[in-house]
Structure 1
């Protein structure tokens, strides 16, 4: 579903340290026209415009991300915009120190006769309603402000069993032999029979009108009715044609995610076999583009699925393509509307629920033993298996089955997990992404590569704006219990967090108060603290800036091993020392396949922690990092006359 172009007009764009505003967008040409107050308009491609949005270089006056913008009606979205305007104005009045009574009086004066409020058909809510709106926005975000008008009404049964039996008898008598019987005729005949039956039984008739008959027909088991009407074979064929769940029109309308065990053995750095890796991939149903692909030696887990989701939401930098030697530097990222998975335990948990709630994404879990309900990801894994059969260490080939080639595959294995990942990523972009194929979603039924199909749909439609880096980070935050504020900061899971934003909260509400804390289970370096006055979460970093990028589960294991003094502050050097000892111990363990696999997982985890810690020091961080940065000393301009001391 397209997003209205007018929502993007007027947005502020920071391009080459200059400020522009969006003048117009042409999706058919893939061009965005930018206007400057100083003159000198510019044009950029639509792809670069989306990259600027993801890098937080595009600013909107209103909170422009209506997470349910592609789900609710325009009238509902307009009501949500009005409520959001009112809450933003209330935040400004709160910052001025005005009490509730004066704030509500000013809000009434400003918005009572506002044209947009009058057009939306809403008035200025009461103080209690505004307080409820603030709580909803704090818990559910802007998506919670969208009115749920479509859920109103009485959904309980309004008819009795006698009337239902009469309607079902009529359907069995007439509908199975002829399709000329309309609902209106059923209402008339069933109403007469029902009233006659009530007179005989001396009971008061209940609802027996059109809505009552419609509720009965809507709840009929359609598959059984179709089989009785047409027969088993004909009903099965018509059901296949009638199923329209796979008809998608735009990228990210339907995304399928699944995990599988690769049909290949990999080795460690010393050449010892460590097992078969797990592949987690996400594919776009409209284009066939592989949106994300993650490899791991561990079993499928919530962490692996979360990494796949994060890769799908943000663009990749040039270092990713340089590291793997990819020629086709094609970027595909954005906001998924519907995600389809299986019933695996890895597709649930706190992080997945937080992502679904924050992104207003529909998460559909497929029925067990129904792989044809998600055919695109199953076809992708089949093509991956065909590619892996050509590599050394493959567990099967076109001629030999898996059970007959296991021992030979372990002897032939020579690729490390990093080597396999590089080969798969190159195949993903340069081979699979460029190979023409006939897809169901192509209206011309012609052969078209996934990359070319994405380019075509990108010009015929308009992709929704991607998430920013800070939004992606906050989407995977999990709520925790309230924590007490101290003078030095906040103590969370044996770590001390402090920063300028937290200091401002402490200065406003004082110490001893409890505040809500959200955290990323995979990164201990930053948490989010809820500001009680504004209702927004502010990021707070650890007091020790050298703290490595490990998960809270790994921190718990380190504390159980070291058992430090409960009153002692956990320092980064303790965590780093324990990580070094664990990596050294893992390097000496190579007795069996399971121990080697566990050791390789530990070594890779240590390398990933080191890489993430170093990478985050190089990339541009959000405002909290700028606040922690050491200010540069002022430098005297060379044009000034040098002062000579007396």
Structure 2
């Protein structure tokens, strides 16, 4: 849920309820205690954000009273499938009406109902009005559209929408391979996908296969640029359709935000003085002002992990700046939830994790067409400026153009650690790039300030739960006596076993959903659907898992698999980790091995924000479940061999773990 702080905003701080009644000056508010109305207290905007980041403050919807604003379910992604899809359907119905002003509403609703009816959707004008009203009253909270009953909603249309999505994905896969989307090829691909999907569905939820005539119509309606690119080739297609599209320009901050990744032309060193590899930067930039909104620097490949941390940084006010980097002169002004997030078509941006998070936090996703980078022109230009204006001035730079290198050895000259680079990066973003005027445009900082002076207010998440958990990765599993097993590890707690008993009493079985931070797999957050809260559940082997990221664990599992001939245990995996750490200690790593281990480290700019605490029932580590006695010796695990991953062709970063469908 997004929220704007101002007069009328209510919040809960350390079990006390307040309401902002006056803005004394810019970003300084007077709030009254709702239990003792004669008690008033001043709060700066920065103070409120620090409390929010620490998890001690939760904002409330200022338009409604305390009793009416609490939902029975905090996290939209944890609701049953039919409730989620029903809410998505209602959002689809009202979406074109969200920008219409009140006095013109009725004719637009009637026109929308007529158009939907022609498309086969049965919905009344009264229902559209009610759904729109509920959504607007909630400040755009998707949970306001959730039905309390599981059996309501246009189920047939929802299932048909899933079939349409499968058709699009099959066609996209052909375009990516530069193959023409022949109707028969698409048809057989769709049938195979649907058959596979139906294997895990109940009879009433099974998808229906489309006819080949339906496939032909979809191909004819598909993007003509993509078809011409396959038929004529890239160059001729660009000539025919043009290289620059006329895009609607945003008129205020956060209306359109672009996000992407790029490797930096720089080699950093680790705490032992060893050269690592080129770091990757994930950056979000506001299209209207040109102000960078959020950034994440790390060594792992572009993945949902880097997207998650970049967005966390983008949403949050940068209250850490002066304390962490006192050499930075100005404030980092830009923050907030965007209305529209524009991405490319990478799998990390099209993942179910980001899709569910966008609904929970109320921002729209737009994946720019394949091979059309000009749709994200702002961020592409910024990456060039970043490399040329900052990175190429630092020791350890690799340069993009090989002819510039000469005898320069970037590994030999790498002397900068990650923390030092982050300080340089903040100076560049906040004190240089954001302050520079380009042409006739004002500087990004001045454009942001001017928008605020004219009444603009950034939207932020309403609670710490929204801030972090909504962006975590999703998982699904079953509660056994030994806890939850995920990727050869067990997660166990007393609260988890109590949940299993309560679910059994209710006849709900032991299947649960959970969320987890891919940069620290030592714990998961199990969703208690009966109490509508999260249960923090720790890995039973904390010595192995503490501060271990998902990418590293996949490598250790792969190494243990290779050595143990698929007879993998947590002990053999831990042995693989120990061998890798020994190599680092002895500093005998090749360039490729250092590259792999850089990705495995948890080094990254995710430490900028206080992201440790999550609203969940705390847990203590449980004992590792007793293993059966073995008659043979534990296999000896050799060091992780990077030749398994020649040219990094093995995809280890996204889809190996348990995921929720």
Q: TM-score, normalised by structure 2?
A: 0.58
| Partner residue, 1:337 | 339
Name the structure 2 match of 1:94: none
Question: Does structure 2 conserve the Cα–Cα contact (< 8 Å) formed by 1:498 and 1:542?
Answer: yes
- Aligned match of 1:525: 522
Q: Which residue of 2 aligns with 1:182?
A: none
C-alpha distance in structure 1 between counterparts of 2:604 and 2:574, whole Å:
13
Change (3 A) 1:242 1:266: closer
CA–CA distance in structure 2, aligned partners of residues 575 and 219 of structure 1: 47
Query: Is 1:506 aligned to residue 514 of structure 2?
Result: no
Distance change (3 Å), C-alpha of 1:435 and 1:561: same
Q: Does 1:496 align with 2:491?
A: yes
Task: Flag the 1:570–1:331 CA change in 2: closer, same or farther, 3 A.
Answer: farther
Does 306-315 or 252-261 show the bigger shift? 306-315
Cα distance in 2 for partners of 1:392, 1:360 equals 42
Report the Cα distance in structure 1 between the residues aligned to 2:465 and 2:524, rounded to whole angstroms.
12
**221 and 264 in structure 1: CA distance in 2 versus 1, 3 angstrom threshold:** closer
Query: Who is 1:33 aligned against?
Result: 30
Check 1:409–1:320 CA distance in 2 against 1; reply closer, same or farther (3 A cut): farther
In the TM superposition, 1:407-556 aligns within 5 A as 407-410=407-410, 412-438=413-439, 447=442, 449-459=443-453, 460-486=455-481, 489-493=483-487, 494-500=489-495, 503-504=498-499, 506-507=501-502, 509-510=504-505, 513-520=509-516, 522=518, 523-533=520-530, 536-542=532-538, 544=540, 547-556=545-554
Write out per-residue CA displacement over residues 357-409 of structure 1, whole angstroms, 9 at most, x where no aligned residue. Answer: 43343222223443332121122112112222222343449xxx433416415
What is the correspondence of 1:135-174 to structure 2 with a 5 Å cutoff? Answer: 141-142=143-144
Deviation at 1:269, TM superposition (A): 5.3
Q: Quote the offset at 1:250 in angstroms.
A: 2.9
Question: In 2 relative to 1, CA 220–491 (structure 1 residues): closer, same or farther, beyond 3 Å?
Answer: closer
Contact 1:266 1:277 in 2 (8 A): yes
Residue 281 of structure 1, CA deviation: 1.2
Distance of aligned partners of 1:220 and 1:148 in 2 relative to their CA distance in 1, 3 Å threshold: farther
1:306 to 305, 308, 311: 308
Report the counterpart of residue 622 of structure 1 in structure 2: 615
What is the Cα deviation at residue 569 of structure 1?
10
Residue 9 of structure 1 pairs with residue 8 of structure 2: yes
CA deviation after TM superposition for structure 1 residue 262, in Å: 1.8
Shift of 1:423: 1.4
1:243 is matched with which residue?
246
Superposition deviation, residue 48 in structure 1 = 4.2
Give the total of aligned pairs.
Answer: 468
Superposed, which structure 2 residues align to 1:24-103 within 5 Å? 24=22, 29-36=26-33, 37-54=36-53, 55=55, 57-60=57-60, 61=66, 62-63=69-70, 73=97
Q: Structure 1 residue 483: deviation in Å? A: 0.6
Q: How far did residue 548 of structure 1 move?
A: 0.6
Deviation at 1:331, TM superposition (A): 5.0
| 1:494-548 deviations in Å (ceiling 9; x for gaps) | 31322437625624634993222223261323334344545x3523321647651
Asked if 1:326 is matched to 2:328, the reply is yes
SS in 2 for 1:294: strand
1:589/1:596 contact within 8 Å kept: no
Asked whether the equivalents of residues 334 and 467 of structure 1 are also in contact (C-alpha less than 8 Å), the reply is no
Instruction: Report the CA distance shift for 1:405/1:430 in structure 2 as closer, same or farther (over 3 A).
Output: same
Distance 1:299 1:320, change over 3 A: farther
Which piece of structure 1 moves more, 303-312 or 319-328?
319-328
CA distance in 2, matches of 1:402, 1:51: 46
Distance of 1:72 and 1:429 partners within structure 2? 37
CA drift of 1:343 comes to 3.0
Q: CA 1:13 to 1:381, structure 2 compared with 1: closer, same or farther past 3 Å? A: same
TM-score by length of 1: 0.59
- Partner in structure 2 of residue 585 of structure 1: 583
Q: What is the Cα deviation at residue 256 of structure 1?
A: 0.8
Residue 294 of structure 1 and its aligned partner are, at CA, apart by 2.2
How far apart, in 2, do the equivalents of 1:580 and 1:66 lie? 38
Q: 1:283 aligns with which of 285, 291, 314?
A: 285
Q: Does the 8 Å CA contact 1:293/1:308 hold for their aligned counterparts?
A: yes
Q: Distance in 1 between matches of 2:153 and 2:335?
A: 29
Aligned to 1:131: none
The structure with the largest alpha-carbon Rg is: 1
| TM-aligned CA deviation for residue 283 of structure 1 | 0.8
Pairing 1:361–2:377 present: no
In 1, distance between residues paired with 2:250 and 2:99?
A: 24
For residues 535-573 of structure 1, the C-alpha deviation after alignment (integer angstroms, 9 at most, x for no partner) is x35233216476513234544554566689x999969xx
1:130 aligns to what? none
Q: What's the CA shift string for 1:293-349, capped at 9, x where partnerless?
A: 222334433322222222222344537842574333435332122111223344333
- Separation in structure 1 between the aligned mates of residue 374 and residue 223 of structure 2, nearest angstrom: 25
Cα separation, 2, equivalents of 1:219 and 1:548 = 48
Deviations 1:597-634 (A, max 9, x none): 334444x43x679x97x987xx6553423x769xxxxx
Match in the other structure for 1:391 = 394
Deviation at 1:463, TM superposition (A): 2.2
2 CA distance for matches of 1:496 and 1:482? 11
- Supply the distance in 1 between the matched residues of 2:147 and 2:96 (Cα, whole angstroms): 12
Is the 8 Å Cα contact of residues 266 and 415 (structure 1) preserved in structure 2?
yes
Partner of 1:211: none
| 1:446-487 superposed Cα distances (whole Å, 9 cap, x missing partner) | 53x32332232234223223353322332234444441354x
Q: 1:253 to 1:483 in 2, by over 3 A?
A: same
The secondary structure found in structure 2 opposite 1:251 is coil
Higher relative contact order (CA 8 A, sep 6+): 2
1:596 aligns with 2:594: yes
Q: 1:498 to 1:570 in 2, by over 3 A?
A: farther
Distance in 2, matches of 1:25 and 1:317, equals 20
Structure 2: tracts of 5 or more residues without a match = 61-65, 77-90, 103-125, 132-141, 158-220, 226-238, 622-661
CA contact (8 A) 1:20 1:34 kept: yes
Note closer, same or farther for the CA distance 1:580–1:319 as it changes in structure 2 (3 Å cut): farther
Q: Are residues 355 and 316 of structure 1, via their aligned partners in 2, closer, same or farther at CA, if it must alter by over 3 Å?
A: same
- Partner residue of 2:649? none
Question: 2:259, 2:342 within 8 Å by CA — same for their partners in 1?
Answer: yes
Conserved? CA contact 1:13–1:22, under 8 Å: no
Q: Is the 8 A contact 1:264 1:409 kept in 2?
A: no
